[in-house]
Chains A and B, each alone.
Chain A
């Protein structure tokens, strides 16, 4: 066969990928030998808007619009960085409620990713089923915050709504049901040939590569890199509610699925622990002053580490807000994984990254 190199684009509109990202693959026969990425399709200038149009106390609502799936993580990371520049103390109850929402968010975000992975394996029925099972979690979030997607739940000083006893009961019931379903799914992803054999060894990232390319979140943990911001910071009570770091080895699609599934189980445990032990207290406390100085905050979003850098000088408008989103930082790792893979596997590999392009092109 001739060694002709063919250029095949994936995106910016592609049936298997509903996000505005473009990868240009140079393929030799079926193998991808080089990848070029383009992510700048939907730049919205949010960082600039946050320093010119909105005062510091409203930015939590603005940055939530960076991304629909991890809206809560964005507003929480911003809020915590702003709070560290102000005077005041968040109550323990508010912290617990914040973690509860973040973990529920992680559950449904991981489920979305798993459903896309199974869809890309040609398993439409499982896609529908996981999406259906995800629905109760979204309903729980709606019951807590009043909204399905944009929660506007976290604000400087605490959270905006209290949780009622009936909602706590609903959470317990739904999570219990979900745990059974996730255990079935683990069995399925381990033993069903369409999902296990098909994905073993595909899209692999070695531990060394993960370190070299600074992979984040489930991608890094699947490669055996022990990193999770939840255990790298003590601002949220993760150690009290039973957080356990989940890692795997191999770094292929199969390992990533397993990491996500076990993280869901861990998140369910954490949520159950939270609802059974929410401390008494105020949901919101007053914070004094205007942000002054620099703050840097990291938080584990469903896709990896999210970072906010905030700089203020005692004025209502911030001087600088920097958002570093997980997908943006992982693109070099993505590109590395693609190299040497078969083109036919590219959509499945991409789905297993769980890329979030609205985060990337904020």
Chain B
């Protein structure tokens, strides 16, 4: 019992276990999971990533003025919702051009505010997609 008392007392002078984020940066391990990054000109528009994504955080929605790319036959535009993404990298495993068209970075999204297509704007995109 006494040893525990001493331990409890010395614990008072220990450094806290928690990181004071955001003053101190979070430690990024080698497997750190961050945002998915997309490179348009490498993409072949096979839409495999869209199908593989569990929460549906990647959508290829039809648009009027797509980036010129002859692979993009259906005038689609890549849309990604970093607040819906669970960073599972299923999309990257599905992508035939992984590490070129899709990669995982070690960045985190900033805190989503109203103007950021977090909820209702994303629902509009989802509906647009379903309408295809």
Establish whether A and B are touching in the complex (CB under 8 Å): yes
Is B7's beta carbon under 8 Å from chain A?
yes
Is B31's beta carbon under 8 Å from chain A?
yes
The smallest beta-carbon distance between B56 and chain A, in angstroms, is 9
The smallest beta-carbon distance between A293 and chain B, in angstroms, is 24
Is B30's beta carbon under 8 Å from chain A?
yes
Is A147's beta carbon under 8 Å from chain B?
yes
Verify A146–B33 contact, CB threshold 8 A: yes
Is A234's beta carbon under 8 Å from chain B?
no
Verify A152–B86 contact, CB threshold 8 A: yes
- Assuming the contacts A125-B8, A146-B29, asked whether A192 and B86 have C-beta atoms less than 8 A apart, the reply is no
Chain B contact patch, size range: 10 to 19
Q: Give the distance in Å from the alpha carbon of A131 to the alpha carbon of B18 in the complex.
A: 11
Verify B11–A128 contact, CB threshold 8 A: yes
Q: Give the distance in Å from the alpha carbon of A146 to the alpha carbon of B90 in the complex.
A: 14
Is A135's beta carbon under 8 Å from chain B?
yes
Is B1's beta carbon under 8 Å from chain A?
yes
Is B88's beta carbon under 8 Å from chain A?
yes
Q: Give the distance in Å from the alpha carbon of A129 to the alpha carbon of B12 in the complex.
A: 10
For A, the interface residue count at a CB cutoff of 8 angstroms equals 28
Contacts of B54 in A (CB 8 A): 54, 58, 61-62
- Assuming the contacts A61-B88, A193-B1, asked whether A145 and B31 have C-beta atoms less than 8 A apart, the reply is yes
The smallest beta-carbon distance between B14 and chain A, in angstroms, is 8
Is A2's beta carbon under 8 Å from chain B?
no
Contacts of A164 in B (CB 8 A): 30
Proximity bits, A102-134, B CB within 8 Å = 1, else 0:
000000000000000000000001101101100
Contacts of B90 in A (CB 8 A): 58, 61, 155
Residue among A58, A126, A135, A193 making CB contact with B17, cutoff 8 Å:
A135
Q: Give the distance in Å from the alpha carbon of A147 to the alpha carbon of B29 in the complex.
A: 10
Contacts of B83 in A (CB 8 A): none
Most buried by B among A54, A144, A147, A193: A147
Is B103's beta carbon under 8 Å from chain A?
no
Q: Of residues 13 to 57 in B, which have CB atoms within 8 Å of A's CB atoms?
A: 17, 29-33, 54-55
The smallest beta-carbon distance between A56 and chain B, in angstroms, is 11
Q: Give the distance in Å from the alpha carbon of A155 to the alpha carbon of B86 in the complex.
A: 14
Output the nearest chain A residue to B7 by Cβ-Cβ distance: A129
Is A177's beta carbon under 8 Å from chain B?
no
- Assuming the contacts A160-B88, A192-B1, asked whether A143 and B17 have C-beta atoms less than 8 A apart, the reply is no
Q: Total number of A-B contacts with CB less than 8 angstroms?
A: 51
Is B4's beta carbon under 8 Å from chain A?
yes
Is A142's beta carbon under 8 Å from chain B?
yes
Contacts of A135 in B (CB 8 A): 17
- Assuming the contacts A61-B54, A135-B17, A192-B4, asked whether A146 and B32 have C-beta atoms less than 8 A apart, the reply is yes
Is B87's beta carbon under 8 Å from chain A?
yes
Q: Give the distance in Å from the alpha carbon of A297 to the alpha carbon of B90 in the complex.
A: 25
Contacts of A188 in B (CB 8 A): 4
Contacts of A129 in B (CB 8 A): 7-8, 11
The smallest beta-carbon distance between B3 and chain A, in angstroms, is 8
Output the nearest chain A residue to B12 by Cβ-Cβ distance: A125
Verify A150–B86 contact, CB threshold 8 A: yes
- Assuming the contacts A188-B4, A192-B1, asked whether A161 and B31 have C-beta atoms less than 8 A apart, the reply is yes
Verify A147–B33 contact, CB threshold 8 A: yes
Output the nearest chain B residue to A161 by Cβ-Cβ distance: B31
Is A239's beta carbon under 8 Å from chain B?
no
The smallest beta-carbon distance between A177 and chain B, in angstroms, is 14
Verify B11–A61 contact, CB threshold 8 A: no
Contacts of A142 in B (CB 8 A): 29, 31
The smallest beta-carbon distance between A54 and chain B, in angstroms, is 7
Is A276's beta carbon under 8 Å from chain B?
no
Most buried by A among B17, B32, B87: B17
18 A-B pairs besides A129-B8, A150-B86 with CB distance below 8 A are A58-B54, A61-B54, A61-B86, A61-B90, A125-B11, A126-B4, A126-B8, A129-B7, A142-B31, A143-B29, A145-B31, A146-B32, A152-B87, A160-B93, A166-B30, A188-B4, A191-B1, A193-B1
Top 3 A-B residue pairs of the complex, sorted by shortest distance between their CB atoms = A125-B8, A146-B33, A146-B31
Q: Which residues of B contact A (CB under 8 A)?
A: 1, 4, 7-8, 11, 17, 29-33, 54-55, 86-90, 93
- 20 A-B pairs (CB sep. < 8 Å): A58-B54, A58-B90, A61-B55, A61-B86, A126-B4, A128-B11, A129-B11, A132-B11, A143-B30, A146-B29, A146-B31, A146-B32, A147-B87, A150-B86, A152-B86, A152-B88, A160-B89, A191-B1, A192-B1, A192-B4
